[in-house]
Chains A and B, each alone.
Chain A
Amino acid sequence: MNFPPPRPNDGFHEPSIDPARLDANWRAISVELDAPRPSWIERGLRRLGLPATVTRPALATPSLRRAWYVAIALVVIIGLVAADPDDARASAFTLLFLAPIVPLLGVALAFGPDADPAHEAHLATPTQGVRLVLLRATTVLAISFVVIGGLALLTDVTRPLAAAWMLPSIGLTAASTAVMTATSPRRAVGLVGTAWVIVALIGRGAGDDRLGAFGPAAQAGFVAVAVVGVIITYVRREQLDVLRGVDR
């Protein structure tokens, strides 16, 4: 289609546009169109109303997503191990014993130079290490709760027992973040995990009830461990804010 050339007296004028502003606007449009989309997990959480300041630090790095995947895989394995239709008490013990270890492993994969290659660059940002540690620990705990909780309700575990692993999970996670202020995340998780295995096995052998380690008194103990763990983590938070173990 051919248009006639514009006549000089059409009344059209070259609009006065600030090139810098035009450039900035074009860039903003281009960024919105061309920026890669976040992962499906992050998009889902954003739709639920969580801000990027929570979802990005919690999920953006592959090491964190790996922590999620490991947690989910372990949950499935635990479900298979725990399901013993002939012995409901044995199933319950296996579930309650193994479930608190899941978030612990997730925490080990979620913070520190071993888990995150950009750890040193993160430390130099205004977001404090303690905030990242607690945010990621909470994320791993939350996903573990949803998946293991669902699993426990589906198996032949009685309803009150189905929740009996939650306080141990919170207690162990808080204990590991507290120990993390003194040593590397992986070593901290190793120490706390070992302590848990010993305590749970002693608890199982000590009384007539193999689930004694998850009774009301023990649950109160895990609340105390969680509170003390969070307090120690907060008081010693500066240790999570600097490089440790460097010698150059």
Chain B
Amino acid sequence: MTAAHLHVESLVVRFGDRTPLDGIDLLAQGGVIALLGANGAGKTTLLRCLATVLRPTSGVVRVDGLDPARETERIEVRRRLGYQPQDLAASPSARVFDALDYLAVLKEHPDDRRRRSLVATALDEVGLWDRRGDRVGDLSGGMRQRLGLAQAIMGSPTLLLLDEPGSGLDPEERQRLRTIVAGRRTVATTIVSTHLTDDAADADLVAVLHDRRLTFVGSPARLAAEADGRTWTQVSPPEPSTVRASWLLPDGRHRCLGTPPSGATIIPPRLEDGYLLLTDPARSRQHMS
């Protein structure tokens, strides 16, 4: 089993007069890609296009060279795909096992024993086997997220698309999510959308979706390095117009991002600093002009 090869070029999505995605390019095979962006940046739209459930207005999407715009090739792509939508949403009165078993049938696992074994393995992996007989409506938000993850990983897909899988999970569950995703690094190309920079820190690549485009694709360390020499602390509150962002630290000092004044105490940047500088509205305006 080889991780799927994903090729996206000049992808555009328009909804009426709104263009949430305008010229997305991405090339990936294997590893974990964190798709980072603000709420409403278009992460869900991009994942839906890659999951073949939304047809882009224009551009190229290929999975292992297959074109989802063609029916037979789309079906073949879906055989390789595990997709967790943002709002998974099994019927509240369905039992956990049945909800997953049903999706396993749709994923073309006709043999009863093998299918039930796949369902059990997936439920076990996300820690829901003990809740197999419960109604979906009786699960907590975090458990429902895990059910969504279970249906996505079922059957060992080579392209795994997870839309905000960490939302609603407690720290222990987030750790389990990281382990599950990391365990598939070599056998699947995984894209995890998130608006939390902490979630992106463990990824092999970070893709920042901002201003309708992927404005950055690189390692987490490289994203943090975007803020090299531009992160500092100072005692007095900064003039808002001179910094991209600043916040008060527990020790009473101000952590600032932007162009440091002379004599400022420069500190090592974090991923979040690089992300905030990349998504600076002033920078976007420059880009537009």
Contact = CB atoms under 8 A, between A and B. Distances in A.
B45 A248 contact: yes
A227 interface: no
Contacts of B83: 121, 124
Contact of A247 (B16, B84, B92, B97): B16
B287 interface: no
A238 to B, nearest CB: 7
Interface stretch (B59-67, B72-80, B202-210, B221-229): B72-80
A241 B74 contact: yes
B116 A35 contact: yes
A128 B75 CA distance: 8
Interface in A178-194: none
B52 A126 contact: no
Contact of B110 (A28, A31, A53, A63): A53
Interface stretch (A54-62, A138-146, A207-215): A54-62
B115 A248 contact: no
A61 B89 CA distance: 12
B95 A36 contact: yes
Contact of A246 (B52, B54, B71): B54
A56 B105 contact: yes
Contact of B90 (A117, A124, A126): A117
A184 to B, nearest CB: 16
B116 A53 contact: no
A125 B18 contact: no
A116 B94 CA distance: 11
Contacts of A241: 71, 74
Interface of A: 27-28, 30-32, 34-36, 38, 51-53, 56-57, 60-63, 116-118, 120-128, 132, 238, 241-243, 246-248
Give me the 8 closest cross-chain CB pairs, A-B, nearest first.
Answer: A117-B89, A125-B106, A124-B83, A60-B102, A56-B105, A127-B106, A123-B53, A62-B93
6 contacts: A34-B132, A56-B102, A62-B93, A124-B52, A127-B108, A243-B54
Given A118-B89, A124-B85, 14 more contacts: A35-B116, A53-B105, A53-B110, A56-B101, A57-B105, A60-B101, A60-B102, A120-B48, A120-B89, A121-B151, A123-B52, A126-B76, A242-B55, A247-B18
